[in-house]
Amino acid sequence: MKTKLSAFFILALVSFAILACEGPIGPEGPQGAKGDSGAAGTAGVAGAAGAAGAAGAAGAAGATGAAGAGVSSVVSYTVGTTWTSSGTVNVPSTFYKRETGLTNVTAISASVMSTGIVLAFFSENAGTEYSQLPKTYPLTGGVGTEIVDFKFKLNGWTLSNFREDSAEPSVWTRTSNRLRIVVINNPGGRIDVN
């Protein structure tokens, strides 16, 4: 047994001596070839969507709107042949025209003049259709026009008939022309249409 321990001890001493006498590290060898790429990893699983939130409370009621616009009157007139003339026929610088009108239309009040609207519609020679004024009529042969125009003032209105070429107009001579005026108060308010 003593011999075995001596042999082991000698072997250990020789191994230590060999390790202690190791020479210097040699130069680095060339780089080896690149290895193959590894397999792609699997994609992650998306998370589930969250539940929808509860509906919000109803909003407060809006403010009451302004008073609605009102039509204070719709008045129709038969326009006869009592029209006055001004200017001189066939002299353009004098602006020849025929006019008729009324001065006792109480619906066209000071408040209408300040904030209202007056619209006029014309029906030629007792026709069944009305056109908003001003109304333009092409003359025979398509050269020039004849015009019926409307103006309003406090408690009244004026209807005019003239031609662009200052010749005598003809619409005024018809005995059954009709004029319809619509007077609207408070046009800036809310309008309820039924």
Number of H helices, E strands in the chain: 2, 9
| pLDDT value for 45 | 74
Give CA–CA dist 98/162, Å, rounded: 6
pLDDT tens digits, 166-194:
999 999 998 889 999 999 987 665 544 43
Task: Give the CA radius of gyration of the chain.
Answer: 53
Give CA–CA dist 41/39, Å, rounded: 6
Which amino acid belongs to residue 92? P
| pLDDT value for 124 | 86
| pLDDT value for 4 | 65
Give CA–CA dist 131/46, Å, rounded: 69
What's the whole-model pTM score? 0.59
pLDDT tens digits, 35-94:
777 777 677 677 677 788 888 888 888 887 665 556 778 888 988 888 999 999 999 899
Give yes or no for a contact between 120 and 179, defined as CB atoms under 8 angstroms apart: yes
